[in-house]
Amino acid sequence: MDEKILEVPDDYEDKDYNEMNLTEKCTDFLSKNPLYNNVTFTPEQAAIAFIQVDDQIELINGKNHIVETMALCKHGCRY
């Protein structure tokens, strides 16, 4: 039982999460989902929808940080 079932190379990186930072991901989410970019949805509601689409993002960044970033993106990305 000591042998490894799956061996991950030392230089392995998850490309999807390292290519874009959180601000870019929030901006991308808002551009693809313009409904969340209007004033009827709060940044927290938009962040929750974003977390539901990408469930690992909360584990990586934390909900409070995502809500703060979403608020910045909504302010700067409003059409």
pLDDT in tens, 21-52: 899 999 999 999 989 988 889 999 999 999 99
pLDDT at 17: 47
Q: In whole angstroms, what is the distance from residue 44 CA to residue 71 CA? A: 8
Q: In whole angstroms, what is the distance from residue 50 CA to residue 66 CA? A: 9
* pTM for the model: 0.68
pLDDT at 13: 53
18 vs 61, residue with greater confidence = 61
pLDDT in tens, 45-73: 999 999 998 878 887 888 899 999 999 99
Amino acid found at 8? V
75 vs 66, residue with greater confidence = 66
